[in-house]
A = this chain, B = another copy of it.
Amino acid sequence: MSTATAEGGGLHQRMLDTLGESIASGKLAPGTRLTLDDLQQEFNVSRTIARDTMRVLESMNLVYSRRRVGIVVQDPRHWNVFDPKLVHWRLLSERREAQYASLTELRIAVEPIAAAAAARRATHAQRGELGALAAELRRLGEAGDLEAFLAVDIAFHRLLLHASGNEMFAAIDEMVAEVLTSRTKQGLMPFRPEQAALKAHEDVAAAVSRGDTGKAEEAMHRVVVEVRQAMGLE
């Protein structure tokens, strides 16, 4: 993807990012009426580009268009909230916290089940790699290198989600990475990862390695349980 309102991609991408961000942030409130004519003027683009952009926003259910009315910003409850572009825009907005909360809760739900699935379906190579990452995690955790720790932590969770063999689980890997990153960057992580967390990661890797679905789920549950408490979910 293009990311950000950056200059990057074509006109279409820029217009899409700008408008998407405006809608996601609520700057363009639901019910707001736009017209292609206004948009082409505002963004200084041709009708072609304006159309393309609105079609994409429409396919994400951020807007709908009706004859004689124009293009109308949809109520948030209709948005395709799993679209990575929308997730990205929402994380850029001031309502970022709400998006993090939703994502974290999703993670709490999915990761233990993904661990169980991985224990059942991971390839031999994946099982090995997972163990290596867990070991690396302990090394970096005890050394106190938070930045490197984050990178490996992301790799660990990403690999697990993919090893689950469920493409829907795999698809949330980017979002999980963003949650982990944000948690570290905002200092919500203890300066030095806790022993319990390191142990839990190792247990996940070990359980997946020997195909123990129940233990894998339980260990991954321990990994996310701290997040759960931080969110006030139990």
A residues near B, CB below 8 A? 12, 48, 51-52, 55-56, 59-60, 76-77, 79-85, 101-103, 105-106, 108-110, 112-114, 116-117, 120, 166-171, 213-214, 233-234
- Given A52-B52, A167-B81, does the pair A117, B105 have CB atoms closer than 8 Å? yes
Interface SS of chain A: helix, strand, loop or mixed? helix
A-B contact pairs, 30 of them (CB 8 A): A12-B55, A55-B56, A56-B56, A59-B85, A76-B167, A77-B167, A77-B170, A79-B167, A80-B82, A80-B83, A81-B167, A81-B168, A81-B171, A82-B83, A82-B168, A82-B171, A83-B83, A101-B166, A102-B167, A102-B168, A105-B117, A105-B166, A105-B169, A106-B166, A109-B112, A109-B114, A109-B169, A110-B110, A120-B233, A213-B233
**Chain B: which residue is nearest A54 at the CB level?**
B52
- Given A213-B233, A233-B117, does the pair A106, B55 have CB atoms closer than 8 Å? no
**Chain B: which residue is nearest A164 at the CB level?**
B105
**Chain B: which residue is nearest A16 at the CB level?**
B59
Residues of chain B contacted by A76 (CB below 8 angstroms): 167
Q: How far is the CB of A219 from chain B (nearest CB, A)?
A: 15
Q: How far is the CB of A20 from chain B (nearest CB, A)?
A: 10
Residues of chain B contacted by A234 (CB below 8 angstroms): 116, 213-214
Q: How far is the CB of A51 from chain B (nearest CB, A)?
A: 6
The reply to whether A116 and B213 contact each other, CB–CB distance below 8 Å, is no
CA distance A103 to B114 in the complex (A): 13
Give 10 nearest A-B pairs by CB, closest first. Answer: A82-B82, A109-B113, A56-B59, A52-B55, A109-B110, A109-B109, A102-B168, A81-B171, A102-B166, A81-B167
The reply to whether B105 and A113 contact each other, CB–CB distance below 8 Å, is yes
Residues of chain B contacted by A101 (CB below 8 angstroms): 166
CA distance A120 to B101 in the complex (A): 14
CA distance A30 to B231 in the complex (A): 41
**Chain B: which residue is nearest A1 at the CB level?**
B61
**Chain B: which residue is nearest A58 at the CB level?**
B56
CA distance A59 to B51 in the complex (A): 14
CA distance A102 to B48 in the complex (A): 38
CA distance A102 to B168 in the complex (A): 7
